[in-house]
């Protein structure tokens, strides 16, 4: 099980965060909730989409301009909704098997998962207010327990 290094926005400490089905990541130093944004590949994808909070999978590619446009908004949402949201990024060019499994026809594509099951989709590069509006009903029911 691979770990992602997440830098705490509060104290700057680097933390190893593994895919976990229960709880949410906290900084080992200051114990604040960490923004949960990770990269996945074919070997880690199924572990990464199972979490106690809603998971947004960003299907993207390096050459995709709109994909690059929404990345800052996704990072901001990961920080603002720390403990309530996990964002998983999957490069479709490097992981065509996963892209085919979820019938990705165009990117950027955001797929929201609850308990490992697809709950919603949003196609295209939406601005941050639209992303917040899309996520609101799903985050309202989310209650991440700290670990």
Active site positions, annotated: 64, 67
8 Å CB contact between 50 and 103: no
d(CA 131, CA 137) in angstroms, rounded, equals 11
């Amino acid at each position: 099980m691979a770990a992602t290094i997440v830098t705490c926005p509060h104290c700057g400490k680097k933390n190893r965060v593994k895919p976990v089905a229960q709880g949410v990541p906290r900084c080992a130093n200051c114990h604040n909730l960490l923004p949960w944004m990770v990269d996945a590949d074919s070997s880690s994808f199924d572990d990464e989409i199972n979490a106690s909070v809603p998971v947004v999978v960003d299907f993207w590619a390096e050459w995709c301009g709109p994909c690059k446009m929404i990345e800052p908004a996704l990072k901001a949402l990961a920080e603002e909704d720390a403990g309530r949201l996990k964002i998983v990024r999957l490069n479709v060019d490097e992981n065509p098997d996963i892209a085919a499994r979820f019938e990705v026809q165009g990117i950027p594509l955001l797929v929201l998962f609850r308990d490992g099951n697809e709950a919603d989709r949003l196609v295209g590069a939406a601005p941050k207010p639209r992303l917040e509006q899309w996520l609101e009903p799903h985050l309202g029911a989310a209650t991440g327990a700290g670990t």
